[in-house]
């Protein structure tokens, strides 16, 4: 056979491609839930002032944490605690919220994926 006319990927090439695809799929499946939890937390925090229209009023920091914890249970976010991941201050008719936490997922024995989230919010105090 003439090697100049041979085309395509070898068996070894296909194995490397499949291994890499499997690795990236595994990483994606491990990280996706954490990004979805963060998105849900983002919506919970920003919805505090909108919830007042439906009769749920948050007047102080303790009620804010309680409201977020209840929403976390509804959204099945069980690995995080609002008091551990949030710093809430009430100032001048607003809640100043800093959502800061990191999540670790094991890939191999001593190799972890680390995802960190850090965002600040200003929510009207109703």
Q: Which residue has the tokens 């800061």?
A: 100
In sequence order, which residues have a C-beta less than 8 Å from that of residue 78 and are 6 or more positions away? 72
- Of 92, 96, 91, 93, the closest CA to residue 119 belongs to 96
**CA-wise closest residue to 119 among 79, 73, 72, 87:** 87
Task: Express each pLDDT in 43-80 by its tens digit.
Answer: 999 888 777 666 677 888 999 999 999 999 999 998 89
What residue segments make up the domains of the chain, in order of their start? 32-124
Three-class SS of residue 31? helix
Burial (CB count within 10 angstroms: exposed 0-12, middle 13-18, buried 19+), residue 114: exposed
Is the confidence at residue 124, as pLDDT, over 80? yes
Summarised one tens digit per residue, pLDDT across range 83-110 is 999 999 998 888 999 999 999 999 988 9
pLDDT of residue 59: 82
Angle formed at CA 77 by CA 59 and CA 23, multiple of 5 degrees? 145
């Amino acid at each position: 056979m003439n090697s100049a006319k041979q085309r395509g990927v070898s068996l070894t090439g296909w194995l490397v491609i499949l291994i890499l695809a499997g690795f990236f799929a595994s990483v994606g499946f491990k990280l996706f839930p954490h990004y979805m939890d963060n998105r849900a937390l983002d919506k919970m925090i920003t919805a505090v002032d909108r919830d007042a229209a439906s009769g749920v009023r948050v007047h102080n920091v303790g009620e804010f944490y309680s409201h977020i914890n209840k929403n976390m249970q509804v959204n099945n976010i069980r690995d995080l605690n609002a008091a551990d991941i949030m710093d809430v201050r009430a100032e001048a008719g607003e809640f100043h919220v800093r959502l800061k936490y990191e999540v670790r997922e094991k890939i191999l024995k001593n190799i972890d994926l680390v995802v960190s989230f850090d965002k600040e919010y200003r929510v009207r105090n109703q």
